[in-house]
Amino acid sequence: MPEPPSTSARNAQPAGDVEAGDIRALLDAIPALVWRACADGSINFVNRRWIEHTGLSLDETRGWKWTDAIHPEDRPQLVLKWQTILKSEQPGEAEARLRRADGAYRWFLLRCEPLRDGHQQIIGWCGTNTDIENRKRAEFDLSHIKQILDETQQMTRCGSMGLNFSTGEVFWSDEGARIFGFEPGEQPPVELIWQRLHPDDRWLSVRSVERVRRGEPDSDYDVRLVMPDGTIRVVRRVSHPPSGGAEPGTSMCAVIDVTEARAAEAALQEAQAELAHVTRVTSLGELASSIAHEILQPLSAIVTLGEASLRWLTRQQPNIAEARFGLEQMIASTRRATEIVHRVRALSKKHTTESIAFELNPVLEDALTLIRGELVRKGVSLQLELEQGLGAVLGDRVQLQQVVINLVMNGIQAMDGVETERVLTLRSKSCDPHRAAVEIEDRGRGISAAAGERLFEPFFTTKPEGLGMGLAICRSIIDAHGGRLWFTRAQVGTVFHFTLPKN
């Protein structure tokens, strides 16, 4: 701690027409700790409130003994600050903890002003100490809350930011700055932030600003950021509805770094697509004999028609018309066999999910083409109740065919061993202007209450040879299409339902 000046103290007398006693009473009545010092900074006067608060008399405070009332941790810095003010000969202030008479310390704001004579020479100093303990506690609480908020935002990768439209000033939390690739406390111009937005996504921010300017509610959306190193960061912007306390001309929102979540979702979708592909191939393996039968039928027809056409042509009087009819039927049979092969290939090969608009009924009929032989082999009658004029639905044709094949195969297998008539009904209908529905109804033994609760769980199966993935994958496919898959119990058997959004 710096040594106090050695210059002796000197008392200054009050001036003017006011009596010294009146001045003393006035100083004692001021709601602050009032003191006076000589030109060298040594104390030569304190008011009654100082004495009452610190429990130190004027003699115990005089000179530089007042420093004994300062908290040991604050004392060196305060003495240095006081010496700096003395050298500057300018007003000054400092904050320090001052000991109370009971030994407790409270924060005070110390302010001082130089006293000058007619020649502007400093003849002394006067000052006040104001209790700011409540303010310091509030500042500490606020700082503590901000620290918790900053740590929470950093853990959740969620920040906040805002924009003042009139000044172009951007303000944000520390995590908000980090998400955009800036240091906490950094205030980059709005143009630099604009450059961080992916060129294809900037229109989203433009639309958002225009909505806020018009006082309209904004929507949440994802936007890509191009970071300085060229990497892409995906950020979700969550709009904040305007409140009465919001400053006019400003916009506030939360920003969440969802890059890892998007990567995880992509990996999950890839895994689901891989699993769905395996399931499709497995289903095709189960249908191998039925598919072979469906292909052999047109191939056998081709051979028969070819032989007949040759006989018509090799007659003494060739019958061109009959030969031509035979050739046309051969071409039709070839196309039928080709279509079956194409459908099998479409189901067996890997492909990226694509959402397109298509008519629902033809997709259902195409799926049945591959199962028709299984229906015949199992002695199951098929009833089609396809509503016409459904309109187009939106989705992936191959994945929806997989769902239909899986549900129809389940219905066929549910009727194994049933002695009554085996009938499977496939329906399509319109739920409302926005949704179409498909129903697959069997007349099997039904589903028990215990099995019904777990029916769509992965790896749960009621079949001895089953994997328990078919219905789980079907539900994930329908969910991804924005639809719903569920089952109900019919009077005899079970009905599986799923809905799809219309285009």
pLDDT at 152 over 90: no
Report the pLDDT value the prediction gives residue 12, as an integer from 0 to 100. 43
Do the domains 269-501 and 20-131 match in fold? no
Residues 6-53 pLDDT 10s = 333 334 444 445 566 777 888 888 889 999 999 999 999 999 999 999
pLDDT at 300 over 60: yes
pLDDT at 75 over 60: yes
How far apart, in whole angstroms, are the C-alpha atoms of residue 496 and residue 503? 23
Alpha carbon distance, N-terminus to C-terminus of the chain: 80
Residues 184-223 pLDDT 10s = 878 888 888 888 999 999 898 888 888 877 877 778 889 9
Q: What are the beta bridge partners of residue 276? A: none
pTM beyond cutoff 0.85: no
Report the pLDDT value the prediction gives residue 27, as an integer from 0 to 100. 84
Q: Tell me the CATH class for 20-131.
A: alpha beta
Tokens of 437: 């529905």
How far apart, in whole angstroms, are the C-alpha atoms of residue 461 and residue 449? 14
Q: Where in the chain are the domains?
A: 20-131, 146-257, 269-501
Look at residue 263 and give its three-state secondary structure: helix
Q: How confident is the model at residue 242 (pLDDT cuts 50, 70, 90)?
A: low
Q: How confident is the model at residue 150 (pLDDT cuts 50, 70, 90)?
A: confident
Tell me which residue has tokens 């740590």: 151
How far apart, in whole angstroms, are the C-alpha atoms of residue 126 and residue 35? 6
CATH of domain 146-257: 3.30.450.20
For residue 384, give the nearest of 356, 404, 398 by alpha carbon.
Answer: 404
CATH of domain 269-501: 3.30.565.10
Q: Which residues contact 390 (CB under 8 A, 6 or more apart)?
A: 359, 360, 361, 428, 429, 430, 436, 502
